[in-house]
Amino acid sequence: KAGVTQTPRYLIKTRGQQVTLSCSPISGHRSVSWYQQTPGQGLQFLFEYFSETQRNKGNFPGRFSGRQFSNSRSEMNVSTLELGDSALYLCASSPEAGYNEKLFFGSGTQLSVL
Amino acid sequence: DAKTTQPPSMDCAEGRAANLPCNHSTISGNEYVYWYRQIHSQGPQYIIHGLKNNETNEMASLIITEDRKSSTLILPHATLRDTAVYYCIVRMLNTGTASKLTFGTGTRLQVTL
């Protein structure tokens, strides 16, 4: 089985631009979540989608948004980029929504905002 | 979710057992203990999880104290490839939402020759 695939692997943008990141979960997985990782803040939860519905949201501004498609693939969008948005964005998938499910992470998209 | 406390760093000689401690004194009865690790420039990787009993899989063993206020992850024969940041996470029971994990700062394990 292929793992979680995130594209692109690296991205360079300038302030004020917007960006869309893509995540393809493991085949059969219906839950997709997104995390932001920075050296200063560590790994922080952004949001989670299950069956095309946002189930949970972290404490991030409205510039961060996401969606999930019927095939469980997910995208996240960041508008009006700021320097502080430079980070590794990680996507994780799991089969179902439940408290004891382990997560499978992709390798992430490294976003640099100049 | 309960908060966890881990030492910031540890060293281990290759071939020896690596014992990584975690304190989670405010854990509640329906919370599981999970361990993940993150090798440089990769996404976190699930290692093991447990509720009350000790658990073992092909990667590691998890020892949870009887009062569940602390746990230890054991890598029985550490190799250089086990050099990573190890995260101990306590996960709240929340039916219907899978994945709002709260990662702390973790323990940076350095395995040396």
* Residue in this structure with the two tokens 């948005």, named with its chain if needed: A85
Mutate to test the interface with B, among A35, A43, A48, A68 (most CBs of B within 10 A): A43
Check the CA dihedral A103-A59-B20-B17 and report its sign.
positive
- Cross-chain Cβ contact A108/B43 below 8 Å: yes
For the cut 80, the answer to whether the pLDDT of residue A97 exceeds it is: no
CA B3 to chain A, closest CA, distance in angstroms equals 14
CA-wise closest residue to B15 among B63, B61, B76: B76
Using DSSP, state whether A95 is helix, strand or coil.
Answer: coil
Mean pLDDT of A72-90: 97
Contact (Cβ atoms closer than 8 angstroms) between residue B4 and residue B103? no
* pLDDT value of residue B70: 96
Query: Percentages helix, strand, coil for chain B, rounded to the nearest 5?
Result: 5, 45, 50
Least confident of A53-57, A73-77, B39-43, B97-101: B97-101
* pLDDT value of residue B2: 62
* pLDDT value of residue B21: 97
Residue count of chain B, please give it. 113
Among chain A residues, the shortest Cα distance to B34 is held by A102
Is some CB atom of chain A closer than 8 A to the CB atom of B46? yes
